Amino acid sequence: MSAPDGLYPPVQYEGWWLALALGILVLLAAAAWIMWAAVRPRRERAPEPAPLSVQLDSLRAHHLERIDRVERAYADGTMSPRIANAELSAISRSFVNAFTGIETPVLPLEDLEARGASPELVAAVRRHFYPSVFERDVPADPAAGIAAARQVVTGWH
Q: What is the DSSP string of 6-46?
A: S--PPPPPPHHHHHHHHHHHHHHHHHHHHHHHHHSPPPPPP
Q: Which segments of 40-136 does DSSP mark as H helices, in order?
A: 52-76, 81-100, 109-114, 119-124, 130-134
CA distance 147 to 90: 14
pTM (two decimals): 0.64
Give the confidence band of 10 by pLDDT, cuts at 50, 70, 90: low
45 in the Ramachandran plot: left (φ > 0), alpha (ψ -120 to 50) or beta?
beta
pLDDT digits (tens, 9 = 90+) for 97-146: 888 888 888 888 888 888 877 788 888 888 888 787 777 776 677 888 88
Distance in angstroms (rounded) separating the CA atoms of residues 79 and 84: 6
Assess whether pLDDT exceeds 80 at residue 8. Answer: no
Residues 47-51, mean pLDDT to the nearest whole number: 65
128, 145 contact by CB (below 8 A): yes
